[in-house]
Amino acid sequence: MSMRFLHMEKVKDGKYLKNYEITYQNKAGREKKYEIVSRRELKGVEDLGGKPSGVSIVATCGERLLLLHEFRMGVNRTIYNLCAGMLEEGETIEECIARELCEETGLKVKRIRQILPPSFAAVAISDTTTYIAFVEAEGAFADNTSDNEEISAGFYTRAEVKKLLQSEPFSSRAQMAAYFFAEGRL
């Protein structure tokens, strides 16, 4: 017997996240419950993972990688992260990249090298999908963040990134990008 989706029910409607309880049949034939969150209103299983909600930006300037050192409420600490953000209604992915890069760092997009197809951001707990964009950035740093964000942006050399990877907390996507950058593969 294989696993099978039975039904889904919204259990909480927050400002940014909606909580759902999924009922499914496990491979032993028993009914089980699973909780997920989504950034979108889901009408049914066909909506799961449907529409990308944002972007993570891997930005370089010459031989340096852009990393944000930012306080994240969900872990109550400051971590290294990529520049990232949510698509606004009617906005193209390219417009979102330029806006988020400027809002979080003050930098401008010099060139978009590649935008990967959407991938799941936290597959164990959410259906959220985001793009990964590889860009070249230029300009000067400026604090354009809101009062609700504490972000310090900087460019780091391969050697500096290697040291940070051994001693500092990262988001998983930022850690992966930093590793490949430090190893000269990005």
Quick one: which of 73, 72, 12 has its CA closest to 37? 12
Is the pLDDT assigned to residue 150 strictly greater than 90? Answer: yes
Average pLDDT rounded to a whole number, residues 87-97: 96
| Mean pLDDT lowest among 116-120, 141-145, 152-156, 175-179 | 141-145
Give pLDDT, residue 44: 85
Give pLDDT, residue 151: 95
Give pLDDT, residue 144: 79
- If one compares 1 and 135, the residue with the highest pLDDT of the two is 135
Quick one: which of 75, 54, 31, 69 has its CA closest to 152? 69
Angle at 123 between CA 117 and CA 127, to 5 degrees: 75
Place of tokens 């992966």: 176
Is the pLDDT assigned to residue 54 strictly greater than 90? Answer: yes
Model confidence, pTM: 0.92
pLDDT bin (cut points 50, 70, 90) of residue 37 is: very high
Q: Distance between alpha carbon 157 and the CA centroid of its chain, in Å?
A: 23
Give pLDDT, residue 143: 87
CA distance 180 to 132: 14
Sign of CA dihedral 107, 15, 124, 79: positive
Portion of the chain with pLDDT greater than 70, in percent: 100
Give CATH for domain 54-182.
3.90.79.10
Q: What is the mean pLDDT of the chain?
A: 95
Alpha-carbon Rg for the chain, nearest whole angstrom, is 19
